[in-house]
Amino acid sequence: MSVQGLLQTMSKLIQVHISLLELAEQKTNILVHNQVDKLNQIVNKETSSMKQITILDLQRIEDISALLLERGYKPNPKITVGDIIKLVVKAEDKKLLSDAQKQLLGTIDQLREKNQLNQKLIEHSLAFIEYSMDLVLGPPDDGVTYQNPSHQQQGLKRNGMFDSRA
């Protein structure tokens, strides 16, 4: 097994991560415009991409193990591409592996930042929904839990615009 197999697997990993990054950018617009049906489609595509990443990551581990065996080392699933770069002798292969690693890590960092932004958008949206519900229904009362009937306070109710007792 040459370095080329590992490079092909890494190239596929990079492509899937780039597609995930594009989905994350689409998700940002969808969240801003509150398009729930499209959000479900994006989440399904992301799930499919994550399955591909899992398969490709297992392939990467197999490629690394084959390279280690080829060079007389014991296979270890904890060995990273960075460790393989140190073992490779040819300068051209080192450069190709290093470039692929940098591109993959850069894409993952961009994806992480975009996902953090999307998470904040979702949190703000949920906070707004909760605020809106409190405006309509009034602040939540503690009457939901059991209280001793002799200790209940009379006249305690939510003062919202919507009467939930109807």
Range of the domain at 46: 3-137
pLDDT tens-digit profile of 76-87? Answer: 888 899 999 998
Q: In the numeric block, which tokens belong to residue 56?
A: 């490709």
Within 8 A by CB and 6+ apart from 116, the residues are none
Record the pTM.
Answer: 0.78
pLDDT tens-digit profile of 16-43? Answer: 999 999 999 999 999 999 888 999 999 9
Lowest mean pLDDT, pick from 28-32, 54-58, 89-93, 125-129: 125-129
Decide if 67 is inside a domain.
yes
Q: In the structure, what pLDDT confidence band is assigned to residue 144 with cuts at 50, 70 and 90?
A: low
Q: Is there a contact between 27 and 40 (Cβ–Cβ < 8 Å)? A: no
pLDDT (0 to 100) of residue 36: 86
First-residue to last-residue Cα distance in the chain = 72
Q: Report the length, in residues, of the chain.
A: 166
| CATH number of residue 67's parent domain | 1.20.58
* Overall number of domains in the chain: 1
Q: In the numeric block, which tokens belong to residue 158?
A: 């939510």
